[in-house]
Amino acid sequence: MKKSTHVAAVFSLALILHIALGWIWTPLAGVIGGIGGNKYAWRISAFGLGLSWSVLVMYNLVSANYQVMEMGRVMGELFGGFPGPLIFVFTVLIGLALGAVSGKLGMGLRVLIFFQKKRFHGERTAD
């Protein structure tokens, strides 16, 4: 699969999971991207999840600008006086980190799923 198609698939799945089930389910898109990818799958998953989270942040800023900016200001004050827009940058960075970690998890699961079958296929004996 081409990298751009892979990113688009992870991005679309993360967006659908985020809207339908909530943000906690978005790393599942990264895991699936890690299973179906190559040695760069964790980067692709990180970019796909970060892109989907940034699209959702932008949607919130466009649809309810005053309320979202006020929320950013309050959260910035709670976290030690950060500027409000910096909170949204942290949000996207959290999405990137979740994508990277879940992509690495998917890569590990790919090794367990696909390479263990080959390794143990000929070693089974009948009792």
Predicted local distance difference test score (pLDDT) of residue 118: 56
Considering the domain boundaries, does residue 126 fall inside one?
no
Virtual torsion, Cα 54, 59, 65, 71, nearest 10 deg: -50
**pTM value surpassing 0.85:** no
Considering the domain boundaries, does residue 105 fall inside one?
yes
Percent of the chain with pLDDT over 90: 52
Helices (H), 1-127: 3-20, 27-35, 41-63, 65-78, 84-110, 116-120
Considering the domain boundaries, does residue 24 fall inside one?
yes
Structural domain containing residue 35:
3-118
Considering the domain boundaries, does residue 59 fall inside one?
yes
Considering the domain boundaries, does residue 49 fall inside one?
yes
Predicted local distance difference test score (pLDDT) of residue 80: 86
Going by C-beta distance under 8 Å and a sequence separation of 6 or more, which residues neighbour residue 96?
A: 46, 47, 49, 50, 53
The mean pLDDT value of the chain amounts to: 87
Asked whether residue 92 carries a pLDDT value surpassing 80, the answer given is: yes
Q: How many domains is the chain partitioned into structurally?
A: 1
pLDDT digits over 32-64, tens only?
A: 999 987 888 899 999 999 999 999 999 998 998
